[in-house]
Amino acid sequence: MDKKLKIIENLRDIYGYGYTEVFTEVTDSITIRHISRTQMNIIQHIYLSGSATPSELAEALNVQKSAVTHTVKKLEHKKLVTVKENTLINDKRSKLVFMTEDAKTLLEEFLDNILERIRSDLGSLSKDETDRLYTATLTILKYIPGGNQNEVHS
C-alpha cells in the first residue's frame, strides 16, 4: 500500500476515532454546564481572537447570525461571555463579544483534561518511540493547521 495513503488512513483513525474517544472522556466540565458544540466553538474562537462581533462569529463558524445571537445570549446567561458596545467603529448598534474569566477557566480545564488523557496514553513510550513521535508531531503541525491561528511551531 502506498505510504501516503496509509498516513492518511492513520490520521483519519487518530482524528476520527481518537478524537471522539478523547473528547467524550474529557468533556465532564462542559457537560455539567450544558455547553453545546456551537457554544464551545464561540468560546474557542473568542479565546483565539480576543473578541468578535456576532457577524464575525457567524462567518467563522459558518452559521446564521441569528443563531449566533441566540447562542451568545445563552452564553451570557451562563456568565461565559459579555457583550459590549463596539467602540472600534462609529455605530452604536455594533457589539463585541468577550469571554469571561469563567469561560477561560472552563476552557483551561477542558484543555487540561485533554493533556492528562494524552499523558496517560503516552506514559509507557520508550525513549526511541518518544523521539520518533516527537518528530512525527512536528511534521503534522507543519502541514496540518491546529491550535492558535497564528501559531508557529519550531
- Residue 152 scores a pLDDT above 60: no
What are the DSSP calls for the chain, one per residue? --HHHHHHHHHHIIIIIIHHHHHHHH-HHHHHTT--HHHHHHHHHHHHHS-B-HHHHHHHHTS-HHHHHHHHHHHHHTTSEEEEE-TTSS-TT-EEEEE-HHHHHHHHHHHHHHHHHHHHHHTT--HHHHHHHHHHHHHHHHHS--SSTT----
pTM over 0.85: no
- Give me 94's grid cell: 455594533
The per-residue pLDDT for 149 is: 44
Q: What is the pLDDT of residues 63-74, one digit of tens each?
A: 999 999 999 999
Is residue 96 a contact partner of residue 53, using CB atoms and an 8 Å limit?
Answer: yes
Q: What does residue 93 show for φ and ψ, rounded to 5 degrees?
A: -80, -20
The second-level CATH assignment, the architecture, of 3-143 is Orthogonal Bundle (1.10)
Q: What is the pLDDT of residues 86-99, one digit of tens each?
A: 887 877 788 999 99
Q: What is the pLDDT of residues 91-149, one digit of tens each?
A: 778 899 999 999 999 888 888 888 888 888 888 999 999 999 999 888 888 887 665 44
Residue 53 CB contacts under 8 Å (≥ 6 apart), including other chains? 86, 94, 95, 96, 97
Per-domain residue ranges of the chain: 3-143
